[in-house]
Amino acid sequence: MKAFSLHPWHVTPEQAQKIQRELASRVSTRNELGEIRRVAGADIAVGRAGGWARVAVVILSYPEMELLEQRMVERQLAFPYIPGLLSFREAPAILEAFEKVRETPDLLLVDGQGLAHPRRFGIACHLGLLLDIPTIGCAKSRLVGEHDQLGNAPGSQAEVIDKGQVVAMALRTREGSKPIYVSVGHKMDLSTAVRLVMKCVRGRRLPEPTRLADKAAAGLARDMEPVGDAVNGR
């Protein structure tokens, strides 16, 4: 699976913010989904060395949520950790993992923000544009905005509003668990994103695609160190 080349990656933080602002206008908030047969999840875990990371991309069948494919990449991260610019740190490694995927997924769920971002261009938007597929951001925490209190039942939700704009939905996926924050990444509207995330939940807080990607990525994160050619991928 190939990604589009939309901009250079070796940039300053100021240049990265400018790229985000320019690309934000290209994000589609219209549902452009066709038939869903395969759903991808992507996540990344950073090891103790700080600059080394393990990326996992999983492909699951839909609606069964059975694992079809799993791809891993281990590599050094070149861009520094800067809140709001995580896609410039993490996306190159995620794209490298996607290059190993045999079949293009119909939908991508990302452990991170989409429009719920200061410049309305989180990592889910970035990956959605680069891969040109419908994408949803499923974040564990809130980056911007405020929302009302949620009910405790699974499916309870509340709009996340930032500067007068609805940018995400706080969504209770499991009774007693903290909500997750669902936002549009690309080629997706918010109501459809929330509905699909709930369909991908299997009794846990996180939807299966990002939960399994998180589990796979975290496998070696605690003790990961450079290991010669092995860091180039598996």
Q: Of all residues in the chain, what percent carry a pLDDT higher than 90?
A: 85
Using the structure block, give the residue that is written with the tokens 């991928």. 233
Q: What is the pLDDT of residues 91-116, one digit of tens each?
A: 999 999 999 999 899 999 999 999 99
The residues near 14 (Cβ < 8 Å, ≥ 6 apart) are none
Main-chain phi, psi angles of 23, to 5 degrees = -80, -20
Which residues neighbour 126 within 8 Å (Cβ) at sequence distance 6 or greater? 20, 23, 87, 91
The stretch 208-228 carries a mean pLDDT of: 69
What is the distance between the alpha carbons of residues 46 and 74, in angstroms, rounded to a whole number?
10
Q: Do the domain assignments include residue 69?
A: yes
Question: pLDDT category, 1, cuts 50, 70, 90?
Answer: confident
Q: Please report how the helices 13-24 and 123-131 are oriented relative to each other, as an axis angle in degrees rounded to 10.
A: 70
Number of structural domains (the chain) is: 1
Judge whether 6 lies within some domain: no
Q: How far apart are CA 195 and CA 215, in angstroms?
A: 23
Q: How far apart are CA 227 and CA 224, in angstroms?
A: 9
Structure tokens at 209: 């695609």
Residue 216: is it exposed, middle or buried by C-beta count within 10 angstroms (0-12/13-18/19+)? buried
10 located within any domain: no
% of the chain at pLDDT higher than 70: 92
- Domain with residue 72: its CATH number is 3.30.2170.10
Give residue 211's domain range.
32-224
Crossing angle of helices 86-98 and 123-131, in 10° steps, is: 40
pLDDT digits (tens, 9 = 90+) for 114-124: 999 999 999 99
The verdict on residue 114 lying in a domain is yes
Rounded CA-CA distance 22/119 in Å is 10
Token code pair at residue 145: 């905005």
pLDDT tens-digit map of 137-193? 999 999 999 999 999 999 999 999 999 999 999 999 999 999 999 999 999 999 999
pLDDT of 49 reads 61
**Confidence grade of residue 220 (pLDDT, cut at 50, 70, 90):** very low
pLDDT one-digit tens code per residue, 69-89: 999 999 889 999 999 999 999
Say what the pTM is: 0.91
Identify the CA nearest to 6 among candidates 103, 118, 127.
Answer: 127
- Torsion angles phi and psi, residue 4, rounded to 5: -75, 150
